[in-house]
Structure formats: structure tokens, C-alpha cells
């Protein structure tokens, strides 16, 4: 047949229309019944513009015996998008097409674990946004190839390389299994809807391998992975909420490591005094308080976004702004474990500090830590190993760290809150107390024999504790310049903002890839 523009353009239009049908009306309807969007609907709801790449890519669908059934669009949709006002590389699987299986059947992978969309993020130095929903691997692939291939033949170089170059954000809706689950963890921020699941192998595989029948949500539901395993950062009510969370996180981060994070509005006065802090922090030193309220009193109005709120809960982490400057905020949480750092909290800090250091966000650390967590469970979970790795993370951080000594600061855990080798500025409130050990436990450990030998052990212990508490007067430390500055809590915002503003000169001169590698959670 001879070429005509009319015929060629009609063919193009027909193929485009077929691509937009994805796995067909029946499968799309089923996704909607389960409360999920298709990949194209996700893209439409989250972007202001989208230029697709590889729209016409397709594959021949066959049954288990190899008989041809139909020609379907590829399971991955990707391209260049405007997302939260930013140019990004964006892509995702669609479960209605072959369960979102990898596009290994194409001449070139479109995305999912490397592929075109990740090369686009690398070459253009723009963020990568991923919508993750897929089975991760497919036995049908070996039928297409004609042989069983080794998974180690698939290069992981690009996904790992991107972590040190551009922001990588991932959202899970539906099921993320195998390689798709692995790709979700190789991100700087991840979020999953509360009805989603993630696992290395689903219930059928668990049943065959271990003889255990388990519900998919019990095996790898959102509540488990955001509250127990910590594999995913945040939980979302639905897909629209998850999209908003990714857009919010991206607003704090630069396009790449060669640029500064975008400064926000400077409408909240630097010299605003946080009078409410005197009510938020109790005068009774053992009483907990709302850490989020303390943070919000100091940072720019409505700028605090918490990361990982349900996991490692003795430590609070999140992004905020101070005079418009994006910062990473870390705070011990006395409402959980008294604020002690356990293995989960330490791991949470490591990952967050690495992200801040990679993308040039100064860190503001609010300290109220009685030490590393102790006890049988703490020892079994190797708290000391994780805790010292948290110390290492802050020592290696290539960004300014401003530490606010709120109350307790005891033992080796305090080394995980500041870095004196990089001018880690420490500001103390008069409520601060610190030392090798908390007075109560330290007295018991250091003077046990004397206390037991006393005529009235209870009275003697109280006498020793009162003496040690007197020596713990934070003003004595300030007199000896053992802390850089003692301030009124209500002055915290102004003092921190002034130092952060000055520190930007240092940050600008150190733009580029970090000398240390950003690492995902093990």
C-alpha cells in the first residue's frame, strides 16, 4: 500500500487510542472497584503537563501454552512531566497490563528498574517520580526470551547512581512485589496507600516455600511497612493524599545535587518570639510534651512535614523551612521510650541525615535524649551498632548542623546530635541537663555500695542525687563555654535563622555530589 498522510496519521491516532486503553475496560473497571487509579489517571491527576515517551510500545499477549491472544500496550508509561511546578522524569507500571510486569519484552526497558525514564532523570539532572504497582517479575518472560535468564544480568547501576544525583520519590498503590518492591525502597521518600501491599514474595509464594497461609495485608500491608518494618516512609489515606505528600517533599529539595534547595516565602518574621514554648516544655523534667508542637513553634508557619511518623517513633524527623530556607529537622521524642535512641530510631536518623546531606539541607536537631536504649530487647536488636552508625552519619554530614539542647543529653547518644568537627553549633535552653549518665541512674550505678551501707539508704540516695543535680546546673557549663550559647527558648527561631542564613555561603560552595554514598535502609 502506498503512503498517504491521511492513512499514516489515522494509523498513528488508532495506535495512540489503543495505548490509552491499557489492559482493557474490564481490567480498568476492576481497578476502579478496588479504589485505584490507572497509571494514566495518576499522571493526569498529579501533573500539569505530560509529554509521553514510548507511547506506541506494545507486546503480544499469549496464553500459558504460547497461543496468541491479543496485542497490548506495554505495562509501563513514562515521560517528561510538570509535577508540583517542577520538571521531572515520571513513570509507572499499570497493573491492568500483565500485572505491571517489567518491560523486558521490549528492545529497551522503559522503566521500573533502570530504563529510559531513569536515564532521562540522570542525563537531564531532574527528579525522578515513580508510581509503583507491579508484580516485579514474570515467568512468562523466559518464554519470550526462550531461556531462563539470571536476574543479575539486569544492571542496578542507574537506580543506585541516581540516589547521589537527583531526588527520587516513589508511591505505591495496589501491590508492589519482588523487583517493584525493591525499587520502592531505593528512594529518598516513599509513600503507600493504606490499602496497598509490598513484599518480596506474595502469599502464594509464601505458601509454597514455607507452608504458611497468610493474608496479604498481614504479610506486607501499609500499616506493617510504615509502622513495623520501616521499609516505607509514610502512609497515605488514598492516592490523592499520597500524590500530595510527594509534591510536598519535592518542594523542599533541589532539582539535583548541583543546585541549591529552593528558598520559600519569607513572610514569617525571623524575630517572631515563640512564647508558647514556655507552655509546651513542662517545668517538671520527667513529663513528656508534644514534639511536633515544639517544632512548629520555631520553624516557619505551616512548613513542617513529618517523615516516617509511625516508625522509630522515639525520634521525629521531617522537613521544614526557617526564613524560607529548607531544613531537615530531627528531635528526640520523650513521649516514646523517654526519647531514648533504639535501633529503629538510629536507622531512621541515618537515612534522614543522608538525604539532608545529599541535597544540601542544613539540619536543626532538638535534643532531649536519655541515651541509647537499654535492656534485653535493645541488645538483641544491636542498638549500640546502629547507634554508633547514627553518630557516624552526623559526623559525616556535609551540611551545617544547629543543635538545640532542650532537656536531657546523656551518654554516647549525645554524639549523634552534633558535630564539633564541623562547627556544630549547640544552643542550650536553661531547661537543659546533661552528663555521662542521668543523675538517678548514675547515682545508683556509681554509689551503690555507699547507698547500701548507709543507715537510711533512701535518704542517702536522695542526698547524693540532690548534690549531683546541683552540679548538673546548665549555667555552670555555659560559664566554661561547654556549650556555645545559652538562650531564652523564645529566641530560638531568630538565633537559628541568623546562623542558617550565614551558613548558606558554605553550602553554595560545596554543591555537587556528596563524598559519601546515600544508602537505603537495609
Range with lowest mean pLDDT among 91-105, 288-302, 324-338? 91-105
In this prediction, residue 409 carries a pLDDT of 92
Q: What's the whole-number mean pLDDT along residues 170-183?
A: 92
77 assigned to some structural domain: yes
**β-bridge mates for residue 366, sequence order:** 331, 404
Tell which of 217, 252, 287 closes a domain. 252
Q: How far is CA 415 from each of CA 370, 387, 502, rounded to the nearest angstrom?
A: 12, 9, 24
Do 89 and 46 share a domain, yes or no? yes
* Boundary (domain end) residue, out of 252, 286, 318: 252
Read off the DSSP letter of residue 361: -
Burial class (CB in 10 A: 0-12, 13-18, 19+), 517: exposed
Confirm whether 519 is domain-assigned: no
Confidence of residue 99 (pLDDT cuts 50, 70, 90): confident
Position 46 pLDDT exceeds 80: yes
The reply to whether 281 and 248 lie within a common domain is no
- In a domain, residue 231? The reply is yes
* CATH code, domain carrying 178: 3.90.226.10
Asked if 186 and 224 sit in the same domain, the reply is: yes
Domain interval for residue 149: 5-252
Q: Is residue 515 part of a domain?
A: no
- Regarding whether 424 and 327 lie in a shared domain, the answer is yes
288 & 430 share domain: yes
State the DSSP H helix or E strand holding residue 392, giving kind and residue range, or none if neither: helix 383-396
Residues counted in the chain: 522
Tell me how crowded residue 363 is: count the other CB atoms within 10 A of its CB: 24
Specify the 3-state DSSP secondary structure of 11. Answer: helix
- Average pLDDT value for residue range 417-426: 85
Q: Looking at the structure, do residues 210 and 281 belong to the same domain, yes or no?
A: no
| Reported confidence tier of residue 432, pLDDT bands at 50, 70, 90 | very high
Residue 450 pLDDT > 80: no
Same domain, 291 and 189: no
Same domain, 380 and 485: yes
Three-class secondary structure assignment of 398-419: CCCEEEEEEEEEECHHHHHCCC
Any domain includes 178: yes
How remote is the C-alpha of 411 from its chain's centroid?
27
Range 160-182 average pLDDT: 94
For residue 415, the model assigns a pLDDT of 93
Q: How many domains, the chain? A: 2
- Contacts by 26-35, CB closer than 8 A, 24 or more apart: 27/95, 27/96, 27/97, 28/96, 30/96, 31/95, 31/96, 31/174, 34/174, 34/195, 35/195, 35/238
353 three-state secondary structure: helix
Question: 211 versus 144: which is more confidently predicted?
Answer: 211
Give the H or E element holding residue 367: strand 363-369
Q: What is the pLDDT of residues 345-403, one digit of tens each?
A: 999 999 999 999 999 999 999 999 999 999 999 999 999 999 999 999 999 999 999 99
Higher pLDDT, 438 or 36: 36
Task: Please check whether residues 47 and 115 belong to one and the same domain.
Answer: yes
Domain boundary among 192, 219, 252: 252
Task: Please state, rounded to an integer, the average pLDDT across all residues of the chain.
Answer: 89
CB-based contact 396:430 (threshold 8 Å): no
Tell me the C-alpha distance between 67 and 195, whole Å. 35
Percent of the chain past pLDDT 70, that is, above it, reads: 88
Q: How confident is the model at residue 269 (pLDDT cuts 50, 70, 90)?
A: very high
Distance between the two ends of the chain, CA-based, in angstroms? Answer: 58
In the chain, pLDDT over 90 holds for what percent of residues? 67
Confidence of residue 522 (pLDDT cuts 50, 70, 90): very low
What backbone torsions phi and psi does residue 68 show, to the nearest 5 degrees? -65, 135
Phi, psi of 485 (to 5 degrees): -160, 135
Q: Are 128 and 246 in contact (CB under 8 A)?
A: no
Cα 188–116–125 angle (5° rounding)? 50
Q: What is the pTM of this model?
A: 0.90
The answer to the question of residue 423 being in a domain is yes
Give the pLDDT of residue 121: 97
d(CA 103, CA 91): 12
Q: What confidence tens digit (pLDDT) does each residue in 462-506 have?
A: 776 677 666 678 888 888 898 999 999 999 999 999 999 999 988
- Answer yes or no: is pLDDT of 316 > 70: yes
Looking at 68-82, 279-293, 350-364, which range is the least confident one?
A: 68-82
Question: Does the structure show a pLDDT above 50 at 14?
Answer: yes
Give the integer Cα–Cα distance in Å for 313 and 316. 6
Same structural domain for residues 241 and 290? no
Q: Which of 39-43, 317-321, 359-363, 444-448 has the lowest mean pLDDT?
A: 444-448
Q: Do 233 and 358 fall into the same domain?
A: no
Task: Note whether 197 and 217 are within 8 A (CB).
Answer: yes
Residue 127 lies in a domain: yes
Residues 373 and 415 in one domain: yes
pLDDT of residue 15: 93
The C-alpha cell at 223 is 500499616
Distance CA 234, CA 222 (A): 9
- Tell me the CA distances in angstroms from 393 to 73, 349, 379, 418, one per residue in order: 45, 8, 21, 10
Q: Is residue 451 part of a domain?
A: no
| Residue 105's pLDDT band (cuts 50, 70, 90) | confident
Amino acid at each position: 500500500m502506498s503512503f498517504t498522510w491521511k492513512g499514516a496519521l489515522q494509523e498513528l491516532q488508532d495506535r495512540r487510542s489503543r495505548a490509552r486503553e491499557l489492559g482493557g475496560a474490564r481490567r480498568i473497571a476492576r481497578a476502579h472497584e478496588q479504589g485505584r487509579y490507572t497509571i494514566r489517571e495518576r499522571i493526569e491527576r498529579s501533573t500539569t503537563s505530560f509529554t509521553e515517551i514510548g507511547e506506541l510500545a506494545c507486546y503480544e499477549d499469549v496464553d500459558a501454552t504460547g497461543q496468541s491472544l491479543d496485542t497490548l500496550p506495554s505495562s509501563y508509561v513514562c515521560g517528561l512531566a510538570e509535577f508540583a511546578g517542577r520538571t521531572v522524569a515520571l513513570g509507572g507500571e499499570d497493573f491492568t497490563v500483565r500485572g505491571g510486569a517489567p518491560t523486558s519484552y521490549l528492545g529497551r526497558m522503559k522503566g521500573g528498574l533502570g530504563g529510559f525514564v531513569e536515564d532521562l532523570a540522570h542525563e537531564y539532572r531532574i527528579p525522578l517520580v515513580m508510581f509503583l504497582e507491579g508484580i516485579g517479575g514474570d515467568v512468562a518472560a523466559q518464554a519470550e526470551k526462550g531461556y531462563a535468564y539470571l536476574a543479575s544480568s539486569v544492571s542496578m547501576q542507574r537506580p543506585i547512581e541516581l540516589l547521589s544525583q537527583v531526588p527520587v520519590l516513589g508511591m505505591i498503590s495496589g501491590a508492589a512485589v519482588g523487583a517493584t518492591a525493591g525499587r520502592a525502597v531505593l528512594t529518598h521518600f516513599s509513600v503507600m496507600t493504606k490499602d496497598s501491599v509490598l513484599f518480596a514474595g506474595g502469599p502464594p509464594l509464601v505458601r509454597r516455600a514455607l507452608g504458611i497461609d497468610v493474608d496479604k495485608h498481614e504479610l506486607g500491608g501499609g500499616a506493617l511497612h510504615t509502622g513495623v518494618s520501616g521499609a516505607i516512609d509514610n502512609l497515605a489515606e488514598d492516592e490523592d493524599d499520597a500524590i500530595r505528600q510527594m509534591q510536598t517533599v519535592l518542594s523542599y529539595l533541589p532539582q539535583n545535587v548541583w543546585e541549591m534547595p529552593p528558598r520559600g516565602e519569607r513572610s514569617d518574621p525571623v524575630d517572631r518570639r515563640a512564647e508558647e514554648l514556655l507552655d509546651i516544655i513542662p517545668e517538671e523534667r520527667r513529663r513528656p510534651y508534644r514534639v511536633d508542637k515544639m517544632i512548629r513553634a520555631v520553624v516557619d508557619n505551616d512548613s513542617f512535614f513529618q517523615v516516617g511518623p509511625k516508625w522509630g517513633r522515639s525520634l521525629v524527623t521531617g522537613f521544614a523551612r526557617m526564613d524560607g530556607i529548607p531544613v531537615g529537622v530531627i528531635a528526640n521524642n520523650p513521649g516514646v521510650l523517654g526519647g531514648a535512641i533504639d535501633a529503629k530510631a538510629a536507622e531512621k536518623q541515618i537515612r534522614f541525615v543522608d538525604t539532608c546531606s545529599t541535597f544540601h539541607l542544613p539540619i536543626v536537631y532538638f535534643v532531649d535524649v536519655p541515651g541509647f536504649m537499654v535492656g534485653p530487647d535493645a541488645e538483641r536488636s544491636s542498638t549500640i551498632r546502629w547507634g554508633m552508625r547514627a553518630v557516624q552519619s552526623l559526623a559525616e554530614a556535609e551540611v551545617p548542623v544547629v543543635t538545640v539542647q532542650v532537656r536531657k543529653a546523656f551518654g554516647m547518644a549525645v554524639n549523634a546530635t552534633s558535630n564539633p568537627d564541623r562547627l556544630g553549633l549547640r544552643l542550650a535552653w536553661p531547661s537543659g541537663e546533661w552528663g555521662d549518665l542521668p543523675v538517678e541512674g548514675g547515682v545508683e550505678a556509681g554509689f551503690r555500695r555507699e547507698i547500701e551501707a548507709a543507715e537510711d539508704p533512701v535518704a542517702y540516695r536522695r542526698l547524693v542525687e540532690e548534690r549531683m543535680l546541683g552540679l548538673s546546673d546548665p549555667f555552670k557549663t555555659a560559664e566554661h563555654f561547654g556549650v556555645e550559647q545559652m538562650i531564652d527558648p523564645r529566641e530560638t527561631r531568630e538565633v537559628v535563622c541568623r546562623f542558617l542564613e550565614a551558613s548558606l555561603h558554605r553550602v553554595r560552595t560545596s554543591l555537587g555530589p556528596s563524598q559519601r554514598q546515600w544508602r537505603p535502609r537495609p
